[in-house]
Amino acid sequence: MPPVPQSAEPGFNGTGPAGTGEKAGDPAAVALRPLLSFLRRPVFAPSPPGRLTVWRWLGWMCLLILLAYLSGSLNQMLVHAFHWPVPARTASAQFLTHPSWAAVAIMLVAPALEELGFRAFLSTAPAFVFTGLTFFLGYGYLLIQAEITPMPAAMPPAAVFTHYFQSFWVFLPAGAISLLLYRYRRDAVLGFFRRRAGWVFWTACILFGAAHTSLYVNHLVWWGFVLVLPQFLLGLGLAYLRASFGLRWSIASHYAIDIPSVLGTWLYLSASPSGLLHRGMLLTLSAIGFLVVAYGLVALSRVARRSW
């Protein structure tokens, strides 16, 4: 087996042959490919093969938010068409729509933890693969536990906070398993990630979506997995950003999607319907929504032309 690259995923400088995006002297690095080409055959590299400017990043954000909104609208149509009994209150939905310090605390750590758990290992750099496996194994256990023993719908935010963090003991045995794999099966694991990048990529995206079923249902039902289409599409875009531009961009994107949406929801719901704040929030959100749709359509056209 060829030697395993040891790079810790620094920023990529594109020093290889012109037009290839490959790093000189590093055969494991892969050229940056547009989204549609990448999805047909995902490939991981020890360092991200592309750079991302702030304006282009905003384009990706608008595209992801646009796709999430459209798929969310499709969800509403499916719920009404098939009369799926989506509860008016779920523990997670109540948590996200009622301001509390517990919610703030989780919102400050959850995006970074989820990126570590579902996307850090989309690489061939050992440090990222085995650190990511630790969090992935932990989140996998928590997902199974949540489906078997779901949270009650009337759970207050503080109780959700306690429930969220008291289960993190599972990361200790998960870390031990990852450490053992690093010590005794390191080359085999890294070789699997190189050869089966497609399986790893799509599994991470599907499980990320499945982990959000508690936003829609309080117990295990098959159509709960249909309703997580917005989260699945967001996870798909975040996974591409992570594999192509680096973990820092997927973490920043996750925060940019989650925190403003939750804070905006809190402000809008807490304002008096006839008050100035409510009208101001409505106008502000409408203006932001228009800009997101406009730039999202521009980004979508670039993806369709395979220039992104």
Query: So where are the chain's domains?
Result: 53-304
- Which tokens sit at 109? 């750590």
Cα(101)–Cα(107) distance, rounded to whole angstroms? 10
Say what the pTM is.
0.85
Report the run of H or E that residue 197 belongs to, with start and end.
helix 197-210
Cα(124)–Cα(30) distance, rounded to whole angstroms? 11
Closest CA to 46 of 113, 159, 129, 118: 129
Indicate if the pLDDT at residue 239 is higher than 90.
Answer: yes
Cα(230)–Cα(78) distance, rounded to whole angstroms? 13
The predicted-structure confidence for 70-93, as pLDDT tens digits, reads as follows: 999 999 899 889 988 887 667 666
Least confident window among 105-109, 230-234, 249-253, 267-271: 267-271
Average pLDDT over residues 167-175: 86
Cα(263)–Cα(121) distance, rounded to whole angstroms? 30
Cα(233)–Cα(182) distance, rounded to whole angstroms? 31
Helical axes 54-82 vs 276-304, angle rounded to 10°? 100
Distances in Å between the Cα of 137 and the Cα atoms of 88, 118, 124, 145, 208 are 32, 10, 18, 12, 13
Instruction: List the end-to-end C-alpha distance of the chain, in Å, as a whole number.
Output: 34
Question: What's the pLDDT score for residue 203?
Answer: 95
Strands (E) across the chain are located at: none
Indicate if the pLDDT at residue 23 is higher than 50.
Answer: no
- Which tokens sit at 213? 């079923």
Question: What's the pLDDT score for residue 102?
Answer: 74
